[in-house]
Structure 1
């Protein structure tokens, strides 16, 4: 499959899932979720949906359970909205890059304040 098509499908699936989670999924467990990226295989059969969760650890756990329970609905809606021969098998993955960047920012601020004291 052409790489350009794969990238377009990834972006389209990302947009549709974001829209669904924001407006259509009615599960009260799902809190603040951001779809960061979607990685789809070259044959368009499997897609990893990376999400970033905000809130306390308990809220994140509840949101994760809500996401797992609505996975079938999300996949069926993707099948209806994105015209493809086969709907890719979706899996949720936690994106920790935001936590990592926040930690780096904290460390840099700490270093700057320590240098300012010297």
Structure 2
């Protein structure tokens, strides 16, 4: 599989999986779940699916558990939506970049707020 075709396959699976995951009714799934990337290997046997879950560590773990238990069903539904020589097995991994970014934003906001208070206290004395 050439690199351009591989990119199209990755993107197509990512897009379709995103909508399939939204349709799942597992209570363990966080509503703040998104498929951030998909990496299909050359022989189309495996797809590493990276998902981002905004929330607590427990919510991330629960969501990954729910996705892993639904992997076979998701693969079957994908095969009905995508015409591909061989539908890869899906393995789900946590992508913490969005959560890390959100945590960094909170940290920056807190530091700026503390600095503002410190300067206000200094100016007021």
1:29 aligns with 2:28: yes
Alignment of 1:1-118 (within 5 A): 1-23=1-23, 25-32=24-31, 33-109=33-109, 117=119
Deviation above 3 Å: which 4+ runs of structure 1?
Answer: 103-118
Structure whose alpha-carbon radius of gyration is higher: 2
Partners of 1:57 and 1:113 in 2: how far apart?
A: 26
Flag structure 2 segments of 5+ consecutive residues without an equivalent: none
Flag structure 1 segments of 5+ consecutive residues without an equivalent: none
Q: CA deviation at 1:39?
A: 1.2
Q: CA deviation at 1:112?
A: 5.0
Q: CA deviation at 1:44?
A: 2.4
Alpha-carbon deviations, 1:31-66, whole Å to 9, x = none? Answer: 221111111123322111110112333333322221
TM-score with structure 1 setting the length: 0.82
TM-score with structure 2 setting the length: 0.78
2:7 alignment partner, SS class: helix
